[in-house]
Amino acid sequence: MSTLPNTTSNWLSDCPVGANIALVGLGANLPAGQSGPAETLRQAVAEMRPLSLLNPLVSPFLVTEPEDCPPGSPVFMNAVALLCCSIDIKPSGLLASLLEIESRLGRKRTGLRNEPRVLDLDLLAFADECCHSEFLTLPHPRAHQRRFVLEPLSVIWPDYQFPGQTQSVKTLLGSL
């Protein structure tokens, strides 16, 4: 039996046949100017709107502990957004657009892995695509292991299975 929330079910039904569903992870743990992490996530969702045929479906914003981050990193604000992408949008193009949004909203990359950041937008999955290149791996290689992805995603789509996975988000979250 499906545990799909009504809102998600309606949103998925409204996404046109042939469109691709993209899952985007959002995270922030540093202020951007006068904006705190929650406001930065709201701005990022607004910036993603033109990338989707429907308004993005966004999980609640959750405060999460840093994972695999440098010592002393502040807590994160995390969410997951679903985008209904036109057939014309390819994963590499969507990733490029997400990186542009990060930059516009103040993300500066220093090369330090998992450092505190103003904004992080991760392309977690794109339809049922599986790929691995220098710039993009789909589905995201660690999404199915990360509480800060699974917890917000489980609120809006608990039955979702990442491509290549046999367990639902809800089951994966329960096993952490």
pTM: 0.93
CATH number at 6-141: 3.30.70.560
The full set of domain ranges for the chain reads 6-141
Q: How much is the pLDDT for 140?
A: 95
Residue 44 has pLDDT above 70, yes or no: yes
Q: How much is the pLDDT for 68?
A: 82
d(CA 19, CA 11): 12
Mean pLDDT for the chain overall: 92
Summarised one tens digit per residue, pLDDT across range 66-105 is 888 878 888 899 999 999 999 999 999 999 999 999 999 9
